[in-house]
Amino acid sequence: MKNIYKSVAGMQEVIGQYRQILDDWPVINRQYEVETSFGPTYVIESGSKDNPPLILLHGSVSNSFTWYSDVASLSQTYNVYAIDIIGEAGLSAPSRPSYASGAYALWLNETIHALKLSTCSIAAMSLGGWMALSFATTYPDKVDKLVLLCPGGLAHEKASFLWKAIFYSLLGKWGQLQTLKLVGSKISSSSLSELGNGLTFASLTFKHFKPRTAKMPLFRDQSLGQLTMPILMLFGDSDQLIPASKSIKRLQQFARQARIELLPDTGHLIVNQADRILEFLISEIENDIPESHINKELYY
Q: Provide the domain count of the chain.
A: 1
Least confident interval from 132-141, 172-181, 266-275: 172-181
Instruction: Judge whether residue 300 has pLDDT over 60.
Output: no
Q: Is 172 within the bounds of a domain? A: no
Q: Flag whether 12 is in a domain.
A: yes
Does 34 fall in a domain?
Answer: yes
Do 219 and 22 form a contact (C-beta atoms < 8 A)? no
Answer yes or no: is 181 within a domain.
no
Average of per-residue pLDDT across 106-110:
98
Angstrom distance (rounded) from CA 219 to CA 135: 12
Q: How confident is the model at residue 165 (pLDDT cuts 50, 70, 90)?
A: low
CATH of the domain at 50: 3.40.50.1820
Residue 97 resides in a domain? yes
Residues in the chain: 300
User: What share of the chain in percent tops pLDDT 90?
Assistant: 64
202 within some domain: no
**What residue spans of 151-273 are helical by DSSP H?**
160-168, 172-183, 190-195, 197-208, 221-224, 244-254
Look at residue 10 and tell me if it is in a domain: yes
Strand order in the sheet with 53-57: 29-36, 39-46, 79-83, 53-57, 120-125, 143-149, 231-236, 259-263, 293-294
Question: Which is higher by pLDDT, 7 or 169?
Answer: 7
Which residues on adjacent β-strands are paired with residue 32? 43
Cβ–Cβ under 8 Å, residues 99 and 157: no
C-beta atoms surrounding 182 within 10 Å: 20
Q: What is the DSSP string of 9-56?
A: HHHHHHHHHHHHHHHT-SS-EEEEEEEETTEEEEEEEES-TTSPEEEE
Three-state secondary-structure class, residue 266: coil
Give residue-wise pLDDT tens across range 38-83.
999 999 999 999 999 999 999 988 999 999 999 999 999 999 999 9
Instruction: State how far the Cα of 67 lies from the Cα of 64, in Å rounded to an integer.
Output: 6
DSSP-assigned beta bridge partners for residue 125: 149
CB 239: neighbour CB atoms within 10 A? 26
In a domain, 239, yes or no: yes
| Alpha carbon distance 111, 132 (integer Å) | 13
At a CB cut-off of 8 Å and minimum separation 6, what does 64 contact?
42, 44, 56, 58, 82, 83, 84, 90
Q: Tens digit of pLDDT for each residue in 214-263?
A: 889 999 999 999 999 999 999 988 787 788 889 999 999 999 999 999 98
Q: What is the pTM of this model?
A: 0.86
pLDDT band at 1; cut points 50, 70, 90 = low
- What is the domain extent for residue 58? 2-159+216-294
